Structure 1
């Protein structure tokens, strides 16, 4: 019996790793998987290869050929003995092999979007592919959808069951991912239901790609929808099926109207694996000695030693040089733990509640008639400011009820993104602009303050004070460069709670040098550094180092703080 041979295709993307094991004779997929790598691309690739080795123990590594594609595959190819394949070529080959009758392809990835349109060459009559790819900005990609889902507070399971409804759409600017996120936050804080917001986002993404990424060309039927977002989000698929025929009708494109739209625009089986499978197809045209799998030893060495040696020459310094320096920093800047004022059973606690309905979280304090803080509450937003407010107020009421005490609210003040909604629904006594609220609080607790810097979920506010009054201020609310939402989204991509960010960043032994400025460019840097092999901790440290520059140089734009 002839020894068994296998071919592996692996797509190492900006947010996920996709792999398939293929029989080189029949080209049948024997094994496949799709997982988020949480910025640990090399480690996830190694995990996949270990599992494949266990699944196909009868096949020696000399009989395995490995072909890799995707934004993160480049540095991993050499240690594995793999052949790198450009991802647009990989997707094109997979489509031509599996669907020779397809006219167009739309693939949404984590950090890029691709459109392929097949046309006949007028001179030769042969089919040729017109390709277009957006890999410079995350607008209209899975990364934007992920961040907006966090803002909306949508559960992934519910999102996977949502259907597109075009009857109640709201404006979302999808040309830039940052502007899309800003619009989403404003819709959330206006009390717009999450299903309407997500449908509006889908519509904006679809229209953005149809108007810009097609480069003036018209999609031809039949249209394949590929990539994770198109595979797992039914409402996005349905939006494509609504908007593409509208474009065809506007441009008088002749498509078979008697064919169900689900057959003209559809998600094929294994749609998330097309780049990985296409890499294998590419490999079938290569000589037999190309892409011979070397095993995991060199990859392990690269991840443990080689990566750091390679990066060390161009990387920046870590956040701290030693454990002693870290302990000294924590000792000097640690925030004292707050302890609520003790109450006795039967006591009536009288006080005023101030609530900050922010873009990503709600914060509330209860103060007595002398201004002393009695109780604090904080929770991340779940996408509905009214529901968030009810929950946080219930927390405060329950705190006293559990101790046999009663809470009597003497007054209620609101600020933040949701203040206008709360003023109408909760009948707040006062609705104070955030900058004024910050100023009054800072002066109350610290007296003569020079500068107040507030890093919010969706904006950054810097107040310059003089003699207890605001002398000047800077506000950034149209770009998320350096704000809390950027940190939360990054932590989520790394598989961390945002509260664990600092602990992981301090572990880094080096840090990449991010460019300060727009969040889109920061995220682009993150993808590139991730591709170069920086670890999760190193990326977090690099971001932590650049964010203060973003605040003072990009938002404040004052070169000398002494002025």
Structure 2
């Protein structure tokens, strides 16, 4: 898309027609515009005479902002050698720009101003701008002066919470199992939407998990999220103002996600109709609400627009070499008191800690060749993963299976059951299922579809499992799952009370996984990376969204990946005990603590928890469940064994029937609830066994 002429009628910039731009760059040398955001770095090279973009790059920095920028500048300098040779000019904007401006030798431009200038220059007809970034959202409104003076510009940004941004989309995408490629091809369907609370990114994640576990197709889940994001921004960020056409959609999410664009084009005209606003022309949403070809680069381009108008002496361009020097030399000097110690003391024996707390590798017991093995299956359909175990009549573990949730609990269950069957067959035996129990988010669906013998509450399942492996004298059980935290307080072998994380998922396993993904590190490598740090930033405990905001600030300050991981591990027990439990004296709870949940495979998380508990409970015994990831499933299997023993028979539909279960999930006009005026969308899951038995879950 070409830029309009430099001379134009008076606009928001206050320039009169015929006024020339002041260009400080050397003749013929492109001016560099940089936008360092919370999740991506954007870089443009712009011809200062015509303000046309000559070169551009857009890249996820995986929290390594300086390194990503250095690589981009090296690429630019290789293609345009005059930048370094003749002394180019650069201007930088974005949430991560502050610490890097001096390193690059770039002038700093506030990002709202940069976007505003870019839009004024390229689109004088535009009256409203919506930009979604990784961590923030902006709405800019241009209002004409009736007297013919400069336009008034109203701006609004989200505060600390990252709801309604690309970060929320990324985190929820992990839970659906959709790939980025599939997401880019998704089409918006307003007839298949479900309620999602987008006011808080964490609440949105909770709703997304519930939809996934209810069997809602991933495409419908992401469409529902997009609709919620759009409605959240239209209701909150507009601050009571009405968007007026033309409307411009900017930022990476708006540029790359057609289903999000379609949601805007549906909801904005609806607000116009509600408020009696008539857009100019025929009101075609495609014409009134536009996404420019390079929507992701407007802040970087706007920084250049600001720079070429600026008077004063230009800064000395240092380029890629300056950023490399910043990475190498300047970081530790600036960290100051924001840094605390790492996870390991100077003289601490890491190997001794690993030997004591590493979860042992499961070695299945030998089975008699050719035998028909009878056992009870327990399945825990969690928020981010599903686990299944097989125990014998004595409660001994025979086999276990694990998989990340694929977006549908029935598919996950069928796969896990087949895996348990195949494990037994591989040992030369046949499997006879004597009973089936379920717990977790998916338990209600499986209870009806598979006729489970036990549908057990998660807290009780975890208590039964902990006592089975760690003794009846356990005082406290701390289970950290993918989406929630459960802390159980026991007395005389029974649950006295408990604490659960409510809607907020601060301090859970999914937070660590999302952070690892943002850093480009496999989750299983998290601990090894964290243990390398000798310093760690001091994260504020509490809301996961605020933790992510801290992460953005700390990466701007120059903390390394290793140090960030150590800091995230250290804040985990604070989120558990100070944010969720809120009991000031841990010693009152007892002295024997059991750590459960898949997060306990992460030894960095375990180290932080052990240190925290022992510093507050003298003589505390802290144990990690030997099957921490499958603890809930083991409890479900134990309960199924007890229920079948009491009843004398199992109601389970059978292993092969469950593996070959057919089902349909339907959300359309016929499934909408008609009991009130809200007419909420509902999903009907209809199942059919090979023998013809049917059931429905709503």
Counterpart residue number, 1:190: 214
* Residue 372 (structure 2) pairs with residue 358 (structure 1): no
| Residues 424-463 of structure 1 aligned to structure 2 (within 5 Å) | 424-447=448-471, 448-463=473-488
Q: Find the partner of 2:183 among 154, 159, 171.
A: 159
RMSD (Å) for aligned C-alpha atoms: 1.6
Counterpart residue number, 2:443: 419
* Residue 75 (structure 2) pairs with residue 51 (structure 1): yes
Counterpart residue number, 1:544: 569
* Residue 502 (structure 2) pairs with residue 482 (structure 1): no
Determine if contact 2:134/2:166 at 8 Å carries over to the other structure: yes
Q: 1:30 to 1:323 in 2, by over 3 A?
A: farther
Counterpart residue number, 2:606: none
Determine if contact 2:36/2:93 at 8 Å carries over to the other structure: yes
Distance across 1 between alignment mates of 2:317 and 2:420:
60
How big is the shift at 1:402? 3.8
Counterpart residue number, 1:292: 316
What's the secondary structure of 1:159's corresponding residue?
helix
TM-score (normalizing by structure 1): 0.97
Q: 1:282 to 1:414 in 2, by over 3 A?
A: same
Counterpart residue number, 1:63: 87
What's the secondary structure of 1:316's corresponding residue?
strand
Distance across 1 between alignment mates of 2:228 and 2:446:
28
Determine if contact 2:84/2:319 at 8 Å carries over to the other structure: no
Counterpart residue number, 2:32: 8
| Residues 230-309 of structure 1 aligned to structure 2 (within 5 Å) | 230-256=254-280, 258-287=282-311, 289-309=313-333
Determine if contact 1:350/1:410 at 8 Å carries over to the other structure: yes
Determine if contact 1:117/1:129 at 8 Å carries over to the other structure: yes
How big is the shift at 1:400? 3.0
Q: Render the CA deviation track for 1:370-399: whole Å, top value 9, x for unaligned.
A: 111011111111221111111222222222
Q: Which moved more, 1:250-259 or 1:413-422?
A: 250-259
Q: Which moved more, 1:34-43 or 1:501-510?
A: 501-510
Distance across 2 between alignment mates of 1:3 and 1:230:
35
How big is the shift at 1:477? 3.2
How big is the shift at 1:539? 1.3
Q: Which moved more, 1:402-411 or 1:433-442?
A: 402-411
Tell which structure's C-alpha radius of gyration is larger.
2
Counterpart residue number, 1:525: 550
Distance across 2 between alignment mates of 1:87 and 1:97:
15
| Residues 492-511 of structure 1 aligned to structure 2 (within 5 Å) | 492-511=517-536
How big is the shift at 1:55? 1.1
Q: Which moved more, 1:300-309 or 1:218-227?
A: 300-309
What's the secondary structure of 1:463's corresponding residue?
strand
Q: Find the partner of 2:492 among 436, 457, 467.
A: 467
Determine if contact 2:437/2:452 at 8 Å carries over to the other structure: yes
How big is the shift at 1:307? 0.7
* Residue 149 (structure 2) pairs with residue 97 (structure 1): no
Q: Which moved more, 1:266-275 or 1:522-531?
A: 522-531
* Residue 159 (structure 2) pairs with residue 143 (structure 1): no
Determine if contact 1:61/1:294 at 8 Å carries over to the other structure: no
Determine if contact 1:66/1:292 at 8 Å carries over to the other structure: no
Counterpart residue number, 1:30: 54
Q: Which moved more, 1:120-129 or 1:207-216?
A: 120-129
Distance across 1 between alignment mates of 2:418 and 2:167:
34
Q: Which moved more, 1:294-303 or 1:13-22?
A: 294-303
Q: 1:201 to 1:355 in 2, by over 3 A?
A: same
Determine if contact 1:82/1:293 at 8 Å carries over to the other structure: yes
Distance across 1 between alignment mates of 2:464 and 2:368:
31
What's the secondary structure of 2:587's corresponding residue?
coil
Distance across 2 between alignment mates of 1:29 and 1:356:
53
Q: 1:162 to 1:299 in 2, by over 3 A?
A: same
* Residue 38 (structure 2) pairs with residue 17 (structure 1): no
How big is the shift at 1:304? 1.9
Q: Render the CA deviation track for 1:271-300: whole Å, top value 9, x for unaligned.
A: 000000111111101247424311333322
Counterpart residue number, 1:132: 156
Question: How many residue pairs end up in the alignment?
Answer: 562
Determine if contact 2:28/2:47 at 8 Å carries over to the other structure: no
Q: Which moved more, 1:466-475 or 1:318-327?
A: 318-327
* Residue 581 (structure 2) pairs with residue 556 (structure 1): yes
Distance across 1 between alignment mates of 2:372 and 2:329:
63
Distance across 1 between alignment mates of 2:212 and 2:347:
42
Q: 1:288 to 1:406 in 2, by over 3 A?
A: farther
Distance across 2 between alignment mates of 1:287 and 1:395:
69
How big is the shift at 1:250? 0.7
Distance across 1 between alignment mates of 2:426 and 2:287:
59
Counterpart residue number, 1:207: 231
Distance across 2 between alignment mates of 1:367 and 1:174:
42
How big is the shift at 1:54? 1.2
* Residue 347 (structure 2) pairs with residue 327 (structure 1): no
* Residue 194 (structure 2) pairs with residue 174 (structure 1): no
Determine if contact 1:62/1:292 at 8 Å carries over to the other structure: no
Structure 1 spans left out of the alignment, 5+ residues: none
Distance across 2 between alignment mates of 1:337 and 1:124:
75
Q: Which moved more, 1:439-448 or 1:35-44?
A: 439-448
Q: Which moved more, 1:452-461 or 1:256-265?
A: 256-265
How big is the shift at 1:5? 0.9
Distance across 1 between alignment mates of 2:344 and 2:329:
21
Determine if contact 1:42/1:76 at 8 Å carries over to the other structure: yes
Q: Render the CA deviation track for 1:460-480: whole Å, top value 9, x for unaligned.
A: 111111221111111113110
Distance across 2 between alignment mates of 1:247 and 1:337:
57
| Residues 353-432 of structure 1 aligned to structure 2 (within 5 Å) | 353-432=377-456
Q: Render the CA deviation track for 1:78-103: whole Å, top value 9, x for unaligned.
A: 11111111000010111111111111
How big is the shift at 1:149? 0.8
How big is the shift at 1:406? 2.2
